[in-house]
Chain A
Amino acid sequence: MRKTNLLWITALIVVVVGSVAGTALYIKAFSKERLMISTTTSLFDTGLLDLIETQFESEYPIDLNFISVGTGLAITHAQRGDADLILVHSPTQETHFLVQGYGLCRKIIAYNYFAIIGPNEDPAKINGLTDTSQALSKIVEAGRNQQASWMSRGDDSGTHTKEKQLWAEADYNWTQIRNEDWYQETGTGMGGTLKTANQFQAYTLTDMGTYLAYYKEGIINLKPHVTQAEQLLNVYSAIVTNKTLHHNVNFDGAITFIKYLVSAEGQQIIADYGKSEYGQSLFHPAVTLLKENTDPTTAQWIKDYAYFDGNECPPQYWNDHPELYQ
């Protein structure tokens, strides 16, 4: 009995001392300069940001913290002042975010392409098409004949926003087709949607990074059928939270990080990422391309898709940082 009590008391002391010491450690750790970045899952889940974090932190005394959420929640975090910077891929939502006064200093950092993937047998016969509208109408046709189905993210993410645009371009009313039997919404992230689409052998829209990771691990066997079309362009931007709305925003830290992302070093990390693991780059750097017009066709696609008022960030949102745009 006495021995048992002694054990309990020892355990209690260990727990109390451990708890207090650990908590003190946290408080100390968080007094360091912290930069909170809310990011779209497609950038985070590939592991690219982990690599950028390691490189950046070895050169700057700033502690980077990435919160991986959809574009929708990333924007909410910034609006509420809980993130200093957002990394997103939804130009229409971004424009809205700037115009409403929540964001400043938008900078396009990278691009890649979405892909329409589906079962290997390709019941809708879309493989190799270069026009997404044509591919989607074939999927609708096959779907209505009960030969194919479509799995949507259904979560207001950047990918979901893109999907809705593609339906609109193909002259379909999204609010109408989402009620049809062949159209299903998962309401989960890209990973969950890929797994569900694979289970039902459905077609879906995906970013290539997440797709390749899942395909390589053998979790899914769906194949890309439509890729590299202008309509499938996917452009990633960084936007700083407006410091006049939220005084706790680490504005200078955010600018330092954007400058790193668009620097030669940052752009090189983006260009190389994925080559060794997947045999191809997952993201393409956008800064030199847009500045020096090295690939006029792609540059024009990016401008048509992701610029507004003819600029990646109109001057009224530069906030005394014109050097970002020179």
Chain B
Amino acid sequence: MSEILEITLRTIHISATATLLATLWSIPIGSLIALKNFPTKQLIKSIFNALMGMPTVALGLILYLLLSSSGPLGSVNILFTPLAIIIGQALLITPILISLTTNALETIDPEIKDLARTLGASETETSLTILAEAKAGVVLALIASFTRAFAELGVALSVGANLRGGTRILTTAIAMEVQRGQIQHSLTLTAILLTIVFATTITTNLIQTRRRT
């Protein structure tokens, strides 16, 4: 039982950290794409949209080859550690965060931007105003990213390797128990995974709707 708890906490931690890390660059990039006009805007949006469908096993393989001892980043020595999974998941969800953020900001009435400017807001302040207006969409982007990271298998297996007490997370443990023929264990872990996914989504919804009441 304590092993299941350990795996669950590790999974939450890894995916939450990955989401946080990806937020650091994805929200600014997403805002830039949404609020600025530049010639390659549509092309860049298309690229990030396409990358949302990146197969996790493909990204996992690329990262394994990069982080492997014989790979270009081998000297960093983080292959088969939770750090490798965090970075992998952060990269995996970056296109989702960027695309959904861009989308959320673009739906905000452009007049708000003009209004903020007229009231003397700087460029950054204007962006923050629009971000605040688009909060619901940005939160959705964060939740979608977190759950995608939380439920992915390919990256965690390739760069984490499902090490007991080290990099074993819910999805890799489910895959392992299925492989071992322990269907009952797999179902228990699956139930935990789904419960957390639902709990996250429902809690966020509750907090969001409070605002309207």
Interface, chain A (partner B; CB < 8 A): 1, 3-4, 7-8, 11, 15-16, 18-19, 22-23, 26-27, 29-30, 36, 41, 45-47, 50, 53, 65-68, 79-82, 189-192, 210, 213-214, 216-217, 219, 246, 248
> Hey, which chain A residues are within 8 Å of B150, CB to CB?
none
Given contacts A30-B81, A82-B69, A50 and B13 within 8 Å (CB-CB): no
Given contacts A65-B163, A246-B69, A22 and B13 within 8 Å (CB-CB): yes
Given contacts A18-B16, A19-B13, A81-B68, A53 and B164 within 8 Å (CB-CB): yes
A192 to chain B: closest CB distance in Å? 8
Closest B residue, CB atoms, query A47: B180
Say yes or no for B181: interface residue by CB 8 A criterion.
Answer: yes
Cβ B16 vs Cβ A189 within 8 A: no
Closest B residue, CB atoms, query A220: B181
Given contacts A23-B83, A82-B68, A191 and B178 within 8 Å (CB-CB): yes
Given contacts A8-B207, A30-B81, A68 and B162 within 8 Å (CB-CB): yes
> Hey, which chain A residues are within 8 Å of B164, CB to CB?
50, 53, 65-66
> Hey, which chain A residues are within 8 Å of B71, CB to CB?
80
Bound: A75/B1 CA distance, A: 34
Interchain CB contact (< 8 A) of B20 among A15, A190, A213: A15
Cβ A210 vs Cβ B20 within 8 A: no
Interchain CB contact (< 8 A) of B181 among A8, A67, A81, A191: A191
A206 to chain B: closest CB distance in Å? 12
Cβ A23 vs Cβ B86 within 8 A: yes
Cβ B183 vs Cβ A219 within 8 A: yes
Say yes or no for B182: interface residue by CB 8 A criterion.
Answer: yes
Q: Chain B CB within 10 Å — which of A29, A53, A65 has the most?
A: A65
A51 to chain B: closest CB distance in Å? 12
Cβ A26 vs Cβ B161 within 8 A: no
Cβ B166 vs Cβ A80 within 8 A: no
Given contacts A18-B16, A191-B179, A65 and B210 within 8 Å (CB-CB): no
> Hey, which chain B residues are within 8 Å of A82, CB to CB?
68-70, 79-80
The 8 A-B pairs of least Cβ separation, nearest first, read A81-B69, A19-B17, A67-B161, A22-B13, A80-B70, A214-B181, A213-B181, A65-B163
Bound: A130/B163 CA distance, A: 40
Cβ B20 vs Cβ A19 within 8 A: yes
Interchain CB contact (< 8 A) of A80 among B69, B80, B176, B183: B69
Q: Chain A CB within 10 Å — which of B164, B179, B208 has the most?
A: B179
Bound: A36/B163 CA distance, A: 9
> Hey, which chain A residues are within 8 Å of B70, CB to CB?
79-82, 246
> Hey, which chain A residues are within 8 Å of B69, CB to CB?
80-82, 246, 248
Cβ A80 vs Cβ B181 within 8 A: no
Say yes or no for B110: interface residue by CB 8 A criterion.
Answer: no
Q: Chain A CB within 10 Å — which of B163, B176, B211 has the most?
A: B163
> Hey, which chain A residues are within 8 Å of B163, CB to CB?
65-67
Bound: A66/B83 CA distance, A: 18
Cβ A1 vs Cβ B211 within 8 A: yes
Say yes or no for B60: interface residue by CB 8 A criterion.
Answer: no
Cβ A213 vs Cβ B80 within 8 A: no
Say yes or no for B95: interface residue by CB 8 A criterion.
Answer: no
Given contacts A19-B13, A19-B16, A246-B69, A213 and B180 within 8 Å (CB-CB): yes
> Hey, which chain A residues are within 8 Å of B80, CB to CB?
36, 65, 67, 82
Interchain CB contact (< 8 A) of B210 among A3, A16, A18, A53: A3
Q: List 15 A-B contacts (CB under 8 A).
A: A23-B83, A26-B83, A45-B176, A50-B164, A66-B163, A66-B164, A67-B162, A67-B163, A81-B68, A81-B69, A82-B79, A82-B80, A190-B179, A213-B180, A214-B181
Given contacts A15-B16, A80-B68, A219-B183, A248 and B210 within 8 Å (CB-CB): no
Say yes or no for B74: interface residue by CB 8 A criterion.
Answer: yes
Cβ B81 vs Cβ A26 within 8 A: yes
> Hey, which chain B residues are within 8 Å of A23, CB to CB?
17, 82-83, 86
Cβ A189 vs Cβ B210 within 8 A: no
